[in-house]
Amino acid sequence: MAELSGYAGRIAFVDLSSGEVRVEQLDERLVDLFIGGKGFLYYLGYKMIAPSADPLNPRENVLIVAPGALAAHAPGASKVGFLAKSPLTNILCDTYAGQVFGSKMKMAGFDALVVTGAAEEPVYLYLENGRVEIRSAKHLWGSSTWDTAEAIRKETRLGASVAAIGPAGERLVRFANIIVDGFRAAGRCGLGAVMGAKKLKAIAAWGIRPPRRFDNDAWREAYLSTYRRIEEDEPTRAWARYGTNDGVSVCSRLSMCPGWHWRRPWLPEEEAKKLSGDEVLARQVSRDVYKKYAGVLWGWGCPVKCSKLVASKRKGLEHIIVKPEYENLSMLGVATGVLDPDEVIYIEWLVNRLGMDSISFGETVSWLMELYEDGLLTREELDGLTAEPRFGNPEAVKQLAQLVAARKGIGSILAEGVEKASRILGRGEDRAVHVKGLEAAAWDPRGRRGFAVSYATADVGASHLRGWPRPHQRPSQGPAKEMVKSFVEDRDHKALLDSLGLCAFVPYSDEEIEKLYAAVTGRKKTISELRLVGWRTEALARIHATLAGRVPEGDTVPKRWMEPIPEGPAKGERAALDWDDLREAIREFYRIRGYDEEYGVPRPDTLRKLGLEEFIEDAQRALIEAAKRNKPHLD
């Protein structure tokens, strides 16, 4: 097979049960249809993980890692993707981390890593120069994500990038995450627990030589012109100061906050200011501290550099972290009613060290607080918790983080995630805010028309990164179905960025993406052709999720979002006009996508259009199973 320009040309398959490492050539057809990153994740995941697989059975579930196609080639190509069957949702789920792991992995010689089986004792993987080594991690088991990364760099190379799990992943907390280089999280869906079940403590990668580019001169010109244009862009320079950490002010203005477990989407200005971007940046560390972490702090070749290092000002809490982004501030702070920036920064440091998703943890804890304050849980039922779990009590949040990560007392129940915890306790299920088992990101759809439909139909559950409807309007301004086309377009754009490995906050133009991709790979594709990867991955995800029993039943939103907003400028708004309006918008989504209008399964003609003929038989079987589940008389 001819060398594929821009790609390492290798996929590594590691069987932890046998210790076998196998390297295969990258298939050119895989590149044509799925590009890289997210595309590779879904194709390989669909092929290797059965819809019936138990997510926490390491011999049934598979962990897949893939950098984007432009990793090591484009400004801000910082994203690396991880995929497995989620312990929270029971469907395929992809999640991404920034910084330099994706580029290091590509330069280490791999376009994807597939991990099967389970080791008898803890191990980590080390990728360098086209080789994968399985090394003992017995001495690292029980260590924090930060300590693990530091130790592995000393054992391998100081410039290596390390994706590690913490104690939460080892103990199979269903929303355990993967932390890259101690700073950035592949946070969603509990893939840290999948690594823990495999006794896989970490994956490290090192490399310095990118794959050969098709046209090096054209690449250099495209790279430099793109970098300079973005670096000099005024809105981007403003973004570089805050990143998303001024988002609490935005969510409050739009009535889209998860305040006090989604009961207060709007915050008075004086409350929102407590967690403002300026408050966070007031805790920035000195230049000398920045120098120590410069190699892993910013994404590969990033012209924006929005990452900042901060530390709590409070005595005893002075731990350095990358500044909290909006999701951290909102789910660890606003959702729990903790509006003290020093406390929220410390809580994020703690949650990251333990290796847990800030979003899922914040939802689950704030849900518990609501049940307690409403008298649905007693102190006697909160085994191991000494602080009273009331909104605004940071001590309760910190204690719960430790209990959840250790799976002790009430923490052992919360470690199951909000959907399963509500069923274990036998109460609060109607208050749990999730879609398909994935706790919701920190944007309340009652403030934006059509956003609820995006949540309901997203491939992984309640993710805010699977399509924003435009323009911004309140749900009462018209039928939700009128917004579907706009969020589908945004969904496909974001899927392309995830397949290329580009950060969504580095503002590429379509022309810049086309030029860079052509110069690097020699493949001249229009932006419309490239964006088909989003449709393809979604189609595979829906077939797989239907066979797993989650679609179309899970294409809905939690009851909380259909309750009217109680106060503020958007008082009375719901996520849709009513349940019928929501359902009709979901049907509109099915129609636009070429899916069955009742069950949301891709039609044969749609799969042919996408070049996915090999999956038609699976789709037809999925349609039959969905119909039987929803109309049992068909048996």
Spacing of C-alpha 225 from chain mean position? 30
Q: Is the pLDDT assigned to residue 633 strictly greater than 60?
A: no
| The predicted structure's pLDDT at residue 1 | 47
174-221 pLDDT per residue, tens? 999 999 999 899 999 999 999 999 999 999 999 999 999 999 999 999
Please report how many Cα atoms fall inside a 13 Å half-sphere around the Cα of residue 566, on the Cβ side.
Answer: 9
248-273 pLDDT per residue, tens? 999 999 999 999 999 999 999 999 99
Q: Which residues contact 172 (CB under 8 A, 6 or more apart)?
A: 56, 87, 193, 196, 197, 407, 415
Contact 488, 591 (CB under 8 A): no
Structure tokens at 585: 């918008």
| The predicted structure's pLDDT at residue 296 | 67
Residue 427 DSSP label:
S
In order of 337, 388, 389, 402, the CA distances from 378 in angstroms are 20, 10, 10, 20
Mean local confidence (pLDDT), 136-152: 97
| The predicted structure's pLDDT at residue 290 | 78
In this structure, the chain runs to a length of 635
Tell me the average pLDDT of the chain. 95
| The predicted structure's pLDDT at residue 294 | 67
* Most trustworthy range by pLDDT among 94-103, 226-235, 296-305, 414-423: 414-423
What are the backbone angles phi and psi of residue 286, rounded to the nearest 5°?
A: -80, 165
Q: Which helix (H) or strand (E) holds 516?
A: helix 510-521
Closest CA to 320 of 80, 78, 150: 150
Q: Which residues contact 333 (CB under 8 A, 6 or more apart)?
A: 248, 275, 339, 340, 341, 343, 344, 347
Structure tokens at 461: 């559950």
Closest CA to 88 of 181, 202, 175, 185: 175
Lay out the sheet containing 131-136: strands in order across. 131-136, 123-128, 200-206, 161-164, 178-180, 184-186
Q: Is 409 helix (H, G, I), strand (E, B) or coil?
A: coil
Amino acid letter, 58: P
Contact 499, 39 (CB under 8 A): yes
3-class SS string, 45-68:
HHHHCCCCCCCCCCCCCCEEEEEC
Task: Please give the Cα distance from 167 to 613 (Å, whole number).
Answer: 43
- DSSP codes, 135-171: EE-TTTTT--HHHHHHHHHHHS-TT-EEEE--HHHHT
> Domains along the chain?
10-206 (3.60.9.10), 244-439 (1.10.569.10), 445-492+553-634 (1.10.599.10)
Task: Please give the Cα distance from 281 to 279 (Å, whole number).
Answer: 6
Q: Is the pLDDT assigned to residue 419 strictly greater than 60?
A: yes
Mean local confidence (pLDDT), 555-569: 97
Q: Which residues contact 2 (CB under 8 A, 6 or more apart)?
A: none
Find the helix packing angle between 216-232 and 234-242, rounded to 10°: 70
| The predicted structure's pLDDT at residue 223 | 96
487-545 pLDDT per residue, tens? 999 999 999 999 999 998 889 999 999 999 999 999 999 999 999 999 999 999 999 99
| The predicted structure's pLDDT at residue 632 | 65
Mean local confidence (pLDDT), 580-606: 98
Residues above pLDDT 70, as percent of the chain:
98
Please report how many Cα atoms fall inside a 13 Å half-sphere around the Cα of residue 382, on the Cβ side.
Answer: 21
22-61 pLDDT per residue, tens? 999 999 999 999 999 999 999 999 999 999 999 999 999 9
Task: Please give the Cα distance from 101 to 167 (Å, whole number).
Answer: 21
